[in-house]
Amino acid sequence: MRQFYKNLSIWLIIALVALFAFNALKQQPEVFHQVPYNVFLKKAETGFLPEVTLTDNVVTWATPDGSKYRSVLPPDHQLIRKLISSNVTLNVEKVDQPPWYLVSILNWLPFVLLFFIWLLFIRKKSDQPGGKAMAFGKSRAKLVDPEHSKVTLDDVAGIEEAKEEVREIVAFLRNPDTFTQAGARIPSGVLLYGEPGTGKTLLAKAIAGEAGVPFFSISGSNFVEMYVGIGASRVRDLFREGKKKAPCILFIDEIDAVGRHRSSGGGAGGNDEREQTLNQLLVEMDGFEANDHVIVVAATNRQDILDPALLRPGRFDRQVMVPLPDVGGREKILQVHAQRTMVAEDVHWQTIAKGTPGFSGAQLANMINEAALLMTRRQAPAIDMEILEAAKDKVLMGAERRSLIITDREKKVTAYHEAGHALVAWMLPGADPVHKVTIIPRGRALGVTMQLPDEERNSQDRTYLTSTLCTLLGGRVAEEIVFNEITTGAGNDIERVSDIARKMVCEWGMSEVAGPLTFRGADPLNGQPGPIISEDTAVMIDREVKNLVQSAYSRARSILLEHRDLLDTISTALLEQETISRQDILTLVEQHSGTHHD
């Protein structure tokens, strides 16, 4: 009905504009030459005018050559008698006046057009999130109708434990009387936390889709405004609307935007608005007035910065961790996203899942999308293993930059750098196996050495971390050995080495001198100072970090010096092929070993 009236108003405006244009064209005036009244009288008296036309106080005539003339008559004149006495034919015409309603429409048309433009502007504002124009205190939550929510728990894969945690909530929303009769109280709030891209928002949509209840969705940043008190008003309005449609779900995404630790001193400015909004949220979730059958589901990547009052039982008394998927989870996620594409029969999802450690659900979905795009560009009938490997490399290492102009020396330095990484990782026990080495620029890197673990690692031992330090330093050491020079190419490697070594000493207790102690620094996000340590302790930490790095550096150097011929062989293969696989490196190592023994 709203669309009907909208179309009707548009057609009415078009009709009025057309009528105005038609009337303007119809009444287009003719072109006349203006003649003074006394000149006109002389022409009439001399018989120069055989015929004239009188219309009100204007007399017009035409000459044989087609020219038209007119003269305006004064109020008091004896023209008619003079014309008749001069034997001039006199034609009298009456001016056709337009209808009164047409004159009124044409006069009011600009105001009507301005009114409709203003009305459309107000309607557009009212359709935007936040309600009608100037209604700052209204909630900006979007209501998802359960009939249109097509996401279910079957669409969520790889987080089975988290799905089990929320099945009770789905059961309660489907049949709340069963739980209330048994004296059970469903959690009023469920907090989904985990790393970005693990599927927290998707899991919340699946809860609403499975339960078949209204689903209000809003971001934490939508509560906070410049004006103090607006956020609290929006929280009240959100819960008021939720109670009207109970049982329902209120989903607050990125709740850390409004749920951070409250300052002890009662800050000023923007903090007042955020803290008032948080206080109102705390009261609405567990205050004097109960929120029966209204479940708040929130998602965040930073559970550690949330206010303790928000996490206590009675509010978010169920906290569900949504972790990164393991191998089996990644395989299921890939299969779910691949249902919308054409996949070849030779695709082994388990192999692809093993080659994507640490990938989140969003990264896996992006990888399938990149594979579909690549399949289209290559005009392939389906996605095969080669296309999936190329898509995985693009997501993991970035797009190839083959147009980048690199000198022969830079290419040679890059080849030895990546060969140093690969050779050290190959010779060290406990290091992740080398999967692929390339000197094709990807992203910001001129070359990449890709390592993939044979099995999932939930914890890292000292041997593995030490091997990682050696592998990261292998590229820098290879440059020094071959070229007796160092470049900026190892900048990121040195940064990662420093970070791992400092964590080994300060957080993981892997230094014999420092012992099993933690030396954490200040936390600027929470505004908390770090522990007080003496100058001697700080010097000891720096010394231990440097010893770890120097020890790894010396070990990597000894490996590369011992296998210098193999380093040259791998570098030559990289310069010729640009990309070598694990099998290629194995072949080179076997050939080199056979030659060496002979």
Active site residues: 418
**Integer Cα distance of 198 and 192 in angstroms:** 10
How would you classify the pairing of strands 68-72 and 448-451? unpaired
Give the torsion through C-alpha atoms of 128, 129, 133, 135, to 10 deg: 170
**Integer Cα distance of 187 and 231 in angstroms:** 24
The label of the residue with tokens 């690969």 reads 422
The label of the residue with tokens 């034609």 reads 91
Three-class SS state of 528:
strand
Cβ contact 218:142 at 8 Å: yes
The dihedral through the CA atoms of 30, 34, 40, 43 has a sign that is negative
Q: Which two tokens stand for residue 406?
A: 């690199």
Three-class SS state of 214:
coil
Cβ contact 22:62 at 8 Å: no
Q: In Å, what is the CA distance from 429 to each residue of 34, 433, 558, 586?
A: 109, 10, 15, 16
Q: In Å, what is the CA distance from 166 to each residue of 47, 204, 373, 426, 467?
A: 108, 9, 35, 44, 41
Please report, in angstroms and rounded to a whole number, the separation of the first and last CA atoms in the chain. 90
Cβ contact 186:246 at 8 Å: no
Cβ contact 333:364 at 8 Å: yes
Q: Which two tokens stand for residue 374?
A: 């690549």
Q: Which are the contacts of 289, defined by CB distance < 8 A and separation ≥ 6?
A: none
**Integer Cα distance of 594 and 207 in angstroms:** 61
Residue 413: closest CA among 470, 473, 472, 476:
476
Concatenate the DSSP letters of all residues of 105-148 into one string.
Answer: HHHHHHHHHHHHHHHHHHHHHHHSTTSSTT-TTS--PEEEPTTT
* Omega of the bond leading into 247 within 30 degrees of 0 (cis): yes
Calculate the CA 29 to chain-centre distance.
61
Q: Which are the contacts of 6, defined by CB distance < 8 A and separation ≥ 6?
A: none
Q: Which two tokens stand for residue 365?
A: 């979905």
Residue 526: closest CA among 192, 225, 313, 264:
264
Cβ contact 209:152 at 8 Å: yes
Cβ contact 446:439 at 8 Å: yes
Q: What are phi and psi of 302, to 5 degrees?
A: -130, 75
Strand order in the sheet with 579-581: 448-451, 434-438, 579-581
Cβ contact 193:200 at 8 Å: yes
Q: Which are the contacts of 573, defined by CB distance < 8 A and separation ≥ 6?
A: 580, 584, 588
